[in-house]
């Protein structure tokens, strides 16, 4: 036996076994490491086994039930998937609607683009509102179906049911996460900004400036178009009230600012004196026309354009803006004029208010014709009725007032009675171009209320009757004077006033030339009577009878001259003293009368002094008998009958049983009278007038000076 060979075989076997054991050990070691690493994973798998078990349970369900569940699941998942796609689309709209973006984008820059994106959001919002609940209900039905057949783990189904309950009726604003509300807020802010950018007040045109036939457009057409687009979207999304509030706040502020610039403080405390209301009433008419025809007309047009088809909203909105324009305050001022103290001048004021409202009648009907302006309509109707009734009442009472004045005392200075001056001017105004159409329309309307007819001739007849009633007062007044000469002066003044102030007037044309010439002739007649019965009686006092100038008769002639000069001086002083308080208001008539007086007295006085003055001078006591120089006498006579201004006013209409009083005339010395007395004092200093002759005039001077 070969032992060496066996040893080698054994050694090789041992080596192979060792390698095998070593490899097995390495594998065992590697397997141990792998098991150590797989431990946590096994735990995870163990934890996931219940879920996996629930997931694979349907697989273990009968094939027929699983096949029947498939169509139900497909029908439920389809709407849900569509809703999810819309939600994804809504999220995609957030950047263009909310992000600041580049210049020219967003609601302020690219409004049409912004509104297009908003329209997509509104469509998505409507889809979600209509389908979100429906999709949730479909999913709830399939969950119930799966639960009834135990195809899904009940715990899983319970979690799904809780989520579905929340989805069935979500708040509307939560469908898009509040994106629509935020976008509408941005639009509302842009609406407010556009209004604010065009909020400059409207200025009233200067008097005499050409006024346009239509109200100016103060908001550009492009801005109006944007406002309309924004308003439509906001109203469509239930924000109408907020839009109206924003609009009224913005445009009301513009209207208020425009009114503040006018200065309307006079509307708040109008005077109760019809005469004093004149300037304020003129402003009232111009301001009311501006407010109605320009300011509010432009606001009405803007309202109509911005609110478009929303006519009811536009009317209500405009009514609120008009209320802030103070239309009711203007009407209350007109009511205050109607409530002023009763006075003939008030008739003119009532006609002026009526005329202003009548000119704006069509504008009022157009602007304030809706239900929203019911109060303005009501107060306007009431005011118009009050104006017409008040004007007709005063007009119909005028002739009664003139007749009642017949028994009032005439002016103590022989001047023209205030009533004559007033009625002549007043009737001319009533028949003039300004008031005649107004009064005719007022009388026509008033008669129509009583189912009667009125024509223009009736108006003329009433005015003529007033004038004739005034004429009848003349004779009554003239007979009230104790002094016949003063009554002549009075009649001369009054008839001349009639002639001068009616000639070339509407009333004078109606009365006719024959009637006017009669008054001129009356003036001439009473002037001649006045001169003859007063100053004409002085010249004969300077007669030359018995003045024989020979040596033995000079003493007798001197005594006669002295006596006649003394008598003349006394009569002249008395007459001048009396007539210094009389007046002739008309300058031409006054100058003519003074010239006639001078021609009646001065030539005879001059001639007498020239012929017989030396006789008196020989006696050495000239100043005792020759009190006036010829020039001094002429100046005194030329300065007679100066008028004194009277306090402005008219007779007051009160109530009818002796309820009319003439206003008491306060005589105040005017500039001409002051010049006269200044001349008189200078004449005394120059010895042209003797001081003793001035004594009789002094009380008159004091009376006049005390009235200043």
638-652 pLDDT, tens digit per residue, is: 999 998 765 544 455
CA dihedral 301, 305, 309, 310 (to 10 degrees): -70
Contact 361, 418 (CB under 8 A): no
Greatest mean pLDDT among 20-29, 50-59, 671-680 = 20-29
Please tell me whether residue 660 adopts helix, strand or coil conformation.
strand
Q: What pLDDT score does 535 carry? A: 94
Contact 72, 158 (CB under 8 A): no
Cα distance between residue 84 and residue 104, in whole Å: 32
Alpha-carbon distance values, 375 to 125, 383, 431, 515 (Å): 43, 12, 36, 53
Cα distance between residue 350 and residue 346, in whole Å: 6
Split at pLDDT 50, 70, 90, the class of 310 is confident
Cα distance between residue 426 and residue 297, in whole Å: 37
Q: What pLDDT score does 65 carry? A: 56
Please tell me whether residue 32 adopts helix, strand or coil conformation.
helix
Q: What pLDDT score does 586 carry? A: 94
Closest CA relative to residue 471, chosen from 494, 493, 489: 494
Q: What pLDDT score does 126 carry? A: 57
The full 3-state SS of 432-497, as one line of letters, equals: CCCCHHHHHHHHHHHHHHCCCCCCHHHHHHHHHHHHHHHHHHHHHHHCCCCCHHHHHHHHHHHHHH
| Mean pLDDT along residues 624-633 | 88
- What is the chain's mean pLDDT, rounded? 77
Q: What pLDDT score does 239 carry? A: 83
Gyration radius of the chain over CA positions: 56
With b meaning 16 or more CB within 10 Å and e meaning fewer, what string describes 308-327? eebeebbbbbbbbbbbbbbb
What is the reported pTM? 0.68
Scan for tokens 């009569």, then name that residue. Answer: 571
Q: What pLDDT score does 78 carry? A: 52
Q: What pLDDT score does 662 carry? A: 37
Cα distance between residue 15 and residue 66, in whole Å: 63
Alpha-carbon distance values, 16 to 13, 30, 644 (Å): 5, 21, 163
55-84 pLDDT, tens digit per residue, is: 555 545 565 555 555 565 655 555 555 555
Query: Is the pLDDT at 656 greater than 70, yes or no?
Result: no
Cα distance between residue 376 and residue 332, in whole Å: 11
Query: Is the pLDDT at 387 greater than 60, yes or no?
Result: yes
- Looking from the CA of 252 toward its CB, the CA atoms found within 13 Å total 16
Cα distance between residue 403 and residue 470, in whole Å: 7
**186 CB neighbour count, 10 Å cutoff:** 17
Q: What pLDDT score does 476 carry? A: 93
Domain 406-639, second-level architecture? Up-down Bundle (1.20)
Cα distance between residue 118 and residue 180, in whole Å: 8
Q: What pLDDT score does 466 carry? A: 92
Strand partners, 628: 689
Q: What pLDDT score does 691 carry? A: 47
Closest CA relative to residue 82, chosen from 38, 134, 34: 134
Alpha-carbon distance values, 253 to 195, 249, 329, 382 (Å): 11, 6, 17, 29
Query: Is the pLDDT at 415 greater than 70, yes or no?
Result: yes
Contact 662, 418 (CB under 8 A): yes
434-481 pLDDT, tens digit per residue, is: 999 999 999 999 999 988 888 888 888 999 999 999 999 999 999 999
The answer to which of 187-196, 235-244, 521-530, 619-628 has the lowest mean pLDDT is: 619-628
| Mean pLDDT along residues 554-580 | 86
Question: Residue 535, exposed/middle/buried by CB under 10 A (0-12, 13-18, 19+)?
Answer: buried
Split at pLDDT 50, 70, 90, the class of 87 is low
Please tell me whether residue 627 adopts helix, strand or coil conformation.
coil
User: Could you tell me the residue ranges of all domains in the chain?
Assistant: 8-57, 76-169, 199-203+219-401, 406-639
Query: Is the pLDDT at 695 greater than 90, yes or no?
Result: no
| Mean pLDDT along residues 687-706 | 45
**482 CB neighbour count, 10 Å cutoff:** 6
Cα distance between residue 515 and residue 181, in whole Å: 86
Query: Is the pLDDT at 229 greater than 90, yes or no?
Result: no
Cα distance between residue 531 and residue 520, in whole Å: 17
Scan for tokens 């912004």, then name that residue. Answer: 114
Higher pLDDT, residue 117 or 343? 343
350-360 pLDDT, tens digit per residue, is: 999 999 999 99
Higher pLDDT, residue 43 or 295? 295
């Amino acid at each position: 036996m070969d032992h060496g060979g066996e040893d080698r075989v054994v050694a090789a076997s041992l080596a192979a076994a060792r390698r095998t054991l070593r490899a097995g050990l390495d594998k065992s070691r590697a397997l141990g490491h792998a098991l150590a690493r797989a431990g946590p994973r096994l735990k995870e798998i163990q934890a996931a086994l219940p879920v996996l078990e629930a997931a694979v349970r349907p697989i273990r369900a009968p094939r027929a039930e699983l096949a029947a569940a498939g169509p139900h699941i497909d029908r439920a998942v389809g709407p849900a998937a569509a809703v999810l796609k819309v939600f994804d689309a809504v999220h995609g709209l957030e950047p263009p609607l909310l992000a600041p973006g580049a210049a020219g984008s967003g609601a302020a820059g690219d409004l049409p683009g912004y509104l297009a994106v908003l329209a997509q959001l509104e469509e998505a919002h409507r889809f979600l509102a209509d389908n979100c609940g429906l999709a949730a209900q479909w999913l709830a039905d399939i969950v119930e179906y799966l639960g009834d057949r135990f195809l899904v783990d009940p715990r899983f189904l319970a979690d799904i049911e809780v989520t579905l309950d929340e989805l069935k009726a979500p708040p509307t604003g939560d469908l898009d996460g509040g994106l629509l509300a935020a976008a509408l807020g941005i639009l509302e802010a842009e609406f407010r900004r556009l209004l604010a950018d065009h909020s400059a007040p409207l200025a009233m045109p200067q008097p005499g400036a050409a006024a346009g036939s239509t109200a100016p457009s103060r908001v550009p057409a492009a801005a109006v178009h944007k406002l309309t687009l924004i308003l439509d979207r906001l109203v469509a999304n239930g924000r109408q009230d907020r839009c109206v509030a924003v609009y009224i706040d913005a445009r009301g502020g513009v209207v208020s600012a425009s009114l503040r610039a006018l200065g309307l403080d006079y509307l708040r405390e109008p005077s109760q004196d019809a005469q004093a209301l004149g300037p304020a009433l003129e402003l009232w008419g111009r301001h009311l026309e501006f407010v109605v025809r320009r300011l509010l007309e432009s606001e009405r047009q803007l309202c109509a354009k911005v609110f478009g088809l929303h006519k009811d909203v536009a009317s209500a909105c405009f009514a609120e803006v008009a209320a802030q324009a103070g239309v009711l305050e203007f009407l209350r001022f007109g009511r205050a004029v109607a409530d002023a103290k009763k006075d003939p001048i008030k008739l003119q004021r009532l006609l002026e208010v009526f005329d202003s409202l009548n000119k704006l009648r069509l504008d009022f009907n157009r602007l304030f014709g809706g239900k929203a302006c019911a109060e303005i309509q009501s107060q306007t109707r009431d005011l118009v009725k009050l104006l017409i009734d008040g004007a007709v009442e005063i007009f119909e009472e005028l002739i009664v007032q003139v007749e009642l004045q017949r028994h009032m005392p005439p002016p103590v200075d022989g001047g023209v009675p205030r009533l004559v001056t007033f009625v002549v001017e007043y009737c001319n105004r009533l028949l003039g171009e300004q008031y005649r159409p107004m009064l005719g329309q007022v009388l026509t309307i008033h008669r129509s209320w009583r189912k009667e007819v009125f024509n223009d001739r009736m108006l003329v007849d009433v005015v003529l009757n007033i004038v004739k009633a005034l004429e009848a007062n003349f004779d009554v007044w003239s007979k009230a004077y104790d002094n016949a000469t003063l009554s002549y002066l009075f009649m001369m003044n009054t008839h001349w006033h009639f002639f001068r102030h009616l000639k070339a007037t509407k009333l004078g044309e109606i009365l006719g030339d024959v009637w006017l010439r009669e008054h001129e002739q009356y003036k001439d007649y009473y002037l001649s009577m006045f001169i003859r019965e007063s100053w004409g009686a002085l010249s004969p006092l300077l007669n030359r009878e018995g003045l024989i100038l020979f040596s033995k008769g000079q003493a007798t002639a001197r005594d006669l001259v002295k006596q006649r000069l003394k008598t003349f001086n006394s009569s002249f002083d008395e007459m001048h003293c009396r007539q210094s308080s009389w007046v002739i208001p008309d300058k031409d008539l006054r100058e003519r009368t003074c010239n006639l007086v001078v021609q009646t007295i001065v030539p005879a006085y001059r001639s007498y002094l020239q012929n017989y003055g030396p006789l008196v001078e020989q006696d050495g006591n000239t100043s005792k008998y020759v009190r006036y120089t010829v020039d001094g006498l002429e100046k005194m006579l030329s300065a007679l009958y100066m008028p004194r201004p009277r306090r402005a006013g008219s007779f007051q209409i009160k109530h009818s049983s002796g309820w009319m009083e003439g206003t008491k005339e306060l005589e105040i010395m005017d500039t001409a009278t002051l010049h006269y007395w200044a001349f008189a004092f200078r004449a005394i200093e120059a010895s042209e007038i003797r001081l003793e002759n001035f004594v009789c005039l002094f009380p008159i001077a004091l009376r006049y000076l005390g009235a200043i």
